[in-house]
Each structure stands twice: as structure tokens, then as C-alpha cells.
């Protein structure tokens, strides 16, 4: 399959590879932790051009907060570097190319803790 739509699709496993790479400089690596990282997004998304996403974490010492999407041309949709003492709470609007999984990750010195949720997009926003 050739054409613009096929050319923008990410490589299979791009988010998995990104999570592993982002956790590589930590003690524990990438750890799924839905009890420590909370991701909030709409259940049904009419337009993928501006999708509200919120990420919160109860972990201390969070250095980075990331939002990733498996159907986007680049797996990292948003990344924030936090200063010392800041709470790990962000809200952002991202683009989603289509339906798939959205991931929230927070990085500490110990590990990259992440969770994911399914996103159902009616009209993609990355065209």
C-alpha cells in the first residue's frame, strides 16, 4: 500500500520502543503502573485535531511527563520537563491521527512509569 496515508503510519511497535528508550537511563526501566500514573481523555473523540489529555502522578521526584500515541507519525505527542518540587500534573491538547492507544508516562530517577487508554477517534487530526 503506497500513498500519503500509508507513509505517515508509525512503524509497528514504535511506542513500545519509545517507552523502552525513555526508561533506559533509569534503575527500573519502563514499568506499567496505572495506580501511580493517571491518564484522562474523552471516551469518544469527534475530531483528532485537538484532543484534551490530562496526566497526573502521585510519584515524587518526577523529572518528565510524556504523552505518546501509537497511531501518530511520531510516537511522542507531548513532553514536559519538570523542575524540582513541581507536582506531576499537566493538561494539554494533542493531535491524534486515528483511533488507537494513548499513553501517559512519567520519568523519575528510579524508572519510567506509564499507563495507557484506548482512544476512539471519528476524524483524524494529523492529515
Mean pLDDT on 35-58: 94
- pTM for this structure? 0.86
- Number of structural domains in the chain: 1
The CATH number given to whatever domain includes residue 32 is 2.60.40.2470
Decide: 68 and 19 in contact? Cβ < 8 Å: yes
pLDDT tens, position by position, 19-37: 999 999 899 999 999 999 9
Mean pLDDT on 84-93: 94
Does 69 score more than 60 pLDDT? yes
Strand bridging mode 44-47 / 112-123: parallel
Does 56 score more than 70 pLDDT? yes
Q: Cell numbers at residue 121, please? A: 477517534
Does 5 score more than 80 pLDDT? no
Q: Domain span at residue 46?
A: 4-123
- Short-list 124, 113, 118, 127, CA closest to 42: 118
Cβ atoms within 10 A of the Cβ of 11, count? 8
Torsion angles phi and psi, residue 112, rounded to 5: -105, 110
Amino acid at each position: 500500500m503506497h500513498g500519503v496515508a500509508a507513509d505517515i503510519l508509525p512503524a509497528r511497535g514504535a511506542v513500545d520502543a519509545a517507552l523502552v528508550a525513555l526508561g533506559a537511563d533509569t534503575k527500573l526501566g519502563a514499568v506499567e503502573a496505572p495506580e501511580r500514573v493517571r491518564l484522562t481523555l474523552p471516551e469518544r473523540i469527534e475530531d483528532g485535531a485537538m484532543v484534551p489529555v490530562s496526566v497526573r502522578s502521585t510519584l515524587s521526584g518526577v523529572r518528565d511527563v510524556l504523552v505518546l500515541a501509537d497511531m501518530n507519525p511520531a510516537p511522542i505527542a507531548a513532553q514536559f520537563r519538570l523542575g524540582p518540587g513541581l507536582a506531576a500534573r499537566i493538561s494539554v491538547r494533542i493531535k491524534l491521527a486515528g483511533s488507537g492507544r494513548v499513553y501517559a508516562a512519567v520519568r523519575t530517577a528510579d524508572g519510567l512509569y506509564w499507563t495507557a487508554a484506548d482512544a476512539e477517534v471519528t476524524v483524524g487530526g494529523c492529515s
